[in-house]
Amino acid sequence: MGMVGGGPSAFIGEVHRMAARLDDRIELVCGAFSSDPYVSVSFGKELGLEEARCYGDYQEMIQKERMLPEGKRMDFISIVTPNHLHYAPAKLALDNGFHVLSDKPATLNLDEAVSLKEAVNKSGLIYGLTHNYTGYPMVKEARHLIRSGKLGKIRKVVAEYPQGWLSTKLEDQGHKQALWRADPQKAGLGGSLGDIGTHAENLTEYITGLGIDELFADVSTLVEGRALDDDTNILVRFNNGARGVFYCSQVSLGEENALAIRIYGTKASIEWKQMEPNTLLLKYLDKPTEIFRTGHQYLSESAQKASRIPPGHPEGFIGGFANLYSNFAKAVSDFKTGNYKEIGEYDFPTITDAVRGMQFIETTIESHKKKTWTKMNNLEL
C-alpha cells in the first residue's frame, strides 16, 4: 500500500501502519506523508522505504505508481490526513485505478461523499473506511447475536462516546491534533460530532442493522471560543420504531475513550465497552447475565476469526484496527486474482457507511439549528 498523510507527528498514521503490519498481509511500499515534500521524503526513508517511492505529494505518488509495472506498484492507498484532505486523494486514486482505504469521516461534507460514491461506483474499485471499532471481536459477536435473533426486536439503543482531552482550549497551545480538529475548514461541520460522534452512529448501525429515521440534536461548544462543537447530545428514532440516545463529548473531563453501547431487545440485551473490549454482556429478563469473552469457541465464526490469541490474553485496539486492514487486504487480493465477491462479504465499512456518516453529521447540525426532529434522508445510494 501507499500512504497519504501519517507523517512524523501524526499519531493515527503509526496506528494505521501497525494495523497494516500485524497480520503480515500488507506491505507499505510508498507514501506521501506530509504536506512538506522534504519531510515526506525523509520520513519515508526513516520508515525504510525506497527513496524513489517517498513522494512529495499524493498527486506525484499516484502518477508515478501508476507508471510502475503491475506487481510492483502499490495496490491501494491508505488516507490518514485531516478530513479536508480525504476526498481529493481518494478521488484521484480511484480515477487512476487504485483501491482506497480512508480514515473517517469520509469527506469534508456530504456533497463530497456523494461525489466520491459516484467515483467508486464508476471505477468498480474497492473503497474502505476505517471505522475501526467495528473490528473488535466482541462487536462482531454482538452483531451476530442480533442477526441470529437472540435479542428479539430492538427497542432501545444507547451509544455514547465521551472523551475529555479537549477540556481545555488545546488548539490555542499549538497542539497539532487539536488544531485541525477545531478548524471548520479542515474538520468540516462537526467537531466532536465528526471526530467521534460518527463512531457511535456507525457502530450502532453495524451492530444492529438498524438505520436512523430521524433525530433531534443539541450541539454545543462548551469551551469558550472554540470554533466547533465539543459536546453533542442526540435523541434518535430508528426505522423499526426503536428509540435511541447518542452522545459524544470531548470535554467530559477525565474520560479517555469511553465509547460504549447498550442495546435492548424484547428477548435479551447487550452491553459493550470499548475500554474493556474483550467482554460482552448478554442480559436477560429472568436469568443470569452472561459474560461473553474474546477467543472462546462458543463465539460465532466472525468473532473467532477476528481474534488472534486464546481467551484471557487481552486483545486491544491495534488488533481490532488490524482486522479492518486484513479484511480489506483480502478483498484487494481477491480482486487481483479475479475472485472478488460482493463487498458485503468482506466485513469492513464501505462507501455506503461513508455517505451515511456525512448524512448523520449534516442532519445533526440541521436539527440543532432548526430545533426540530429532522429526518435522516436515506438516499437510495
Identify residues 236-295 at the interface with a second copy (CB under 8 A): 237, 242-245, 247, 249, 251-258, 262, 264-269, 274-277, 282-293, 295
Among 176, 240, 314, 339, binds a second copy (CB under 8 A): 314
Q: Is residue 144 within 8 Å of 300, Cβ to Cβ?
A: yes
Closest Cα partner for 198 from 143, 137, 284, 259? Answer: 259
What CA–CA distances, in Å, run from 357 to 126, 244, 341, 362?
18, 17, 24, 9
* Position 176 contacts a second copy (CB under 8 A): no
* Least gap, CB of 108 to a second copy (angstroms): 24
Choose one: 16-24, 188-196, 341-349, 356-364; the region binding a second copy (CB under 8 A): 16-24
Question: Does 207 sit near a second copy (CB under 8 A)?
Answer: no
Q: Establish if 227 lies at the interface with a second copy (CB under 8 A).
A: no
Reported as type and span, the H/E element at residue 71 is none
The answer to whether residue 209 forms part of the interface with a second copy (CB under 8 A) is no
Q: Which three cell numbers stand for residue 166?
A: 479537549
Residue 100 or residue 193: which is nearer to a second copy going by CB? Answer: 193
Distance CA 205, CA 207 (A): 6
Selected binder of a second copy within 174, 225, 310, 338 (CB under 8 A)? 310
Compute the least distance from the CB of residue 182 to a second copy, in Å: 17
Omega cis (within 30) before 288: no
Cell matching residue 127: 473503497
**Torsion, Cα of 8, 10, 12, 17 (10° steps):** -10
Determine which residue in the list 36, 183, 213, 218 makes contact with a second copy, applying CB under 8 A: 218
The residue (of 25 and 64) whose beta carbon lies closer to a second copy is 25
* b (16+ CB within 10 A) / e for 102-114: bbbbbbbbbebbb
In whole angstroms, what is the distance from residue 163 CA to residue 129 CA? 22
Give the per-residue contact string, 51-90, with a second copy (x = CB under 8 A; - = no). ----------------------------------------
